[in-house]
Structure 1
Amino acid sequence: MAGPKNRRQGPAAASPEPKEQDRQRTGNGSAHDEAGGVADTEPRENIFLLWPNIIGYSRIVLAFASLYYMPLHPRTCTLLYTVSCLLDALDGYAARLFEQSTRFGAVLDMVTDRCTTACLIVFLSSAFPRWALLFQGLISLDLASHYMHMYATLAMGGTENSHKNVDKSRSRLLSLYYTNKTVLFIACAANEAFFIALYLLSFSSPLLSPSLLQTVPDHAAAAIHQGAQVNSSLLRHLFTNPYSAGALELARANKMDSFWPWVLAGVSFPVMAFKQVTNVVQLVKAGKWLAEGDLQQRRAMGLPRKPKRA
């Protein structure tokens, strides 16, 4: 259309517009905002590349690596999984040290914790099928309690409120758990240690994993003692595929001493139980908090409506 185009022509059209001049001068766009004021010229932070979040990404990589080695290599898996868990304390320290605490980092940390623990417990469900229902319940409790607590905090406490800011009037147990860094670290570390101990016992303890004790026929055992050549038919009594990597690793794992895993399981069990009780309290308190909000909202809307008199 010719009209608008002609209105732009004139003395002002001889040079670029102010926004275009700024764009040419800085190479990064206009230095003026839409209202004509001076915009913030300080460099914009990349939240995804802050040090605590980089540590969080490292935790995810280590967790995936541990899951890869989990079925066949208990020692390697335990090392990788333990390092991933220990970095959970380091990212919080880095956030305070560099003043880089972010909501994205808090959510990333919680999601990583929940997912890695769930994956480990899923393996335990397959290793101890008789206890699968209990393990499934623990996964559900962990995910549900943290989700409801986070949602209740945002919905009732406001978007600026952290899920770790729990007032004593609401729950003394949750306030102690979230505000005391020592209690929080010990509870989370011991909880993971208990499940790691069960994982190691699935490879080393015939008491929990009777499949580790394989019966060999008497004539086959006599052949071994006599120094006879061990053929594939004998190995099939021990493993479905005697030449597989799983058979080799399981043979090595059977030499693992179950003493220390039992000690670790015994020491960490009370703390793990405390953590599960905390999850139950967290789930119940979050539900009640949301119900209080629903009740206030319904009252503000005049619900339930009083029945009209005839």
Structure 2
Amino acid sequence: MSSQRLKNGVDRLAGTTQPNGRPANGAPRAPVSAREAKGETDENIFLFVPNLIGYARIVLCIASLYFMPLHPRRCSFLYSISCLMDALDGIAARKFKQSTKFGAVLDMVTDRCTTTCLLVFLATAKPQYSMIFQGLISLDLASHYMHMYATLTMGGQGESHKNVSAERSWIMNKYYTNKVVLFTFCALNELFFIALYLLCFSSPLITPALLPSAGLAGQNGTTPVTPHSPIPSLLFPSPFSAGAMEMARANKMDSTVPWILTLGSAPVMAIKQWINVLQLVKASQWLAEGDRRDRMKEKQKRQQ
């Protein structure tokens, strides 16, 4: 009450209000809305430029999923654009001063979902390696969820998951604070899986169905970089049947470029998975540290 009187006195001395609390020009003071009383604004966070970029990424990802079974070039193009736009939302957030918690979560969720969708396709296309792809999906989701939850629980509600102190983990600090390093690792990690996806449509070494028999392979001059091209058949009229998918694989592209991209990005992908393991371990240790602290406080309360 005294603080409100002091504020009114300062306003009267400044000439902005009259003794009755009205503005100096005689007009009544505008009533304070419920949002203003709670410290909220009418800004539409969902229409911020970085978030609009995030929505565009989701649309491109969904479009790439539609083309994924039969059109590897279109799928790879749309998927790659969606991944590259991941860097634009951060630039837009800093340029327009529109960094938000919603945008940060939207960005992380979009990244996890797009990678998961591609790995699910690879698991179905190569069922003999499905356990590896399932493990990569689980590691990616678990490490990022644990890291985000540990940051919010131990670091505070307003703490960003990218603020990792060097004392806690020097590698994680460099990974998250250096934008060039972060973009390079994320981009090449996605590039590896995209290239592996393209090899499923082009390389007999990855997809043996592209090389039905040694005699037919020799007759058609098939090599690991020149896939066999079978005669079109009407046995599989449905464009989404298993047979149609095999036909699409065998008639699409040369595998030279996908092999170069796969082998070139493989080391970075391996390091990225190791960072995911490290992130999972550090987040678990941080949560365990908080649990020990809470248990110690409860023990001290019982002893009092």
- TM-score bracket for this pair, using the shorter chain length: 0.7 to 0.9
1:294 paired residue number:
291
Of all paired residues, the percent bearing the same amino acid is: 61
Is contact 1:63-1:84 (8 Å) kept? yes
- How many residue pairs get aligned? The number is 260
Question: What is the CA–CA distance in structure 2 between the aligned matches of 1:107 and 1:156, rounded to whole Å?
Answer: 18
CA distance in 1, matches of 2:131, 2:245: 30
- Give the unaligned 5+ runs of structure 1: 1-24, 222-233
Give 2:239's aligned residue: 245
Aligned position for 2:275: 278
Cα deviation digits, residues 220-277 of structure 1 (max 9, x gap): x9xxxxxxxxxxxx96xx7683444353983575341100000000110011011100
TM-score, scaled to structure 1: 0.77
CA distance in 2, matches of 1:41, 1:172: 38
CA distance in 2, matches of 1:202, 1:64: 20
Contact 1:31 / 1:41 at 8 angstroms: preserved in 2? no
1:207 aligned residue: 205
- Is residue 2:84 matched to residue 1:89? no
Partner Cα distance (2:103, 2:300) in 1 = 39
C-alpha displacement of 1:42: 10
Q: Deviation above 4 Å: which 4+ runs of structure 1?
A: 38-43, 215-218, 303-306
Matches within 5 A, 1:66-81: 66-81=64-79
Q: Output the CA distance in 1 between the equivalents of 2:172 and 2:187.
A: 17
Query: CA separation in 2, counterparts of 1:215 and 1:41?
Result: 72
Match among 53, 60, 66 for residue 62 of structure 1: 60
Quick check: 1:66–1:81 contact (8 Å CA) kept in 2? yes
Matched, 1:176 2:201: no
User: Residue type matched to 2:273 in 1?
Assistant: Q
Shift of the 211–253 alpha-carbon distance from structure 1 to 2, 3 Å rule, reads closer
Structure number with bigger Rg: 1
Q: Shift of residue 186 of structure 1?
A: 0.3
State the SS of the aligned residue for 2:299.
Answer: coil
Q: 1:42 to 1:109 in 2, by over 3 A?
A: closer
Mapping of residues 1-310 of structure 1, within 5 Å = 31-32=31-32, 44-215=42-213, 241-245=235-239, 247=244, 250-251=247-248, 253-302=250-299
Q: Give the aligned CA root-mean-square deviation in angstroms.
A: 3.0
- Given the two structures, how large is their TM-score scaled by the length of structure 2? 0.78
Q: 1:206 to 1:305 in 2, by over 3 A?
A: farther
Q: Is the 8 A contact 1:31 1:39 kept in 2?
A: no
Deviation at 1:214, TM superposition (A): 3.0
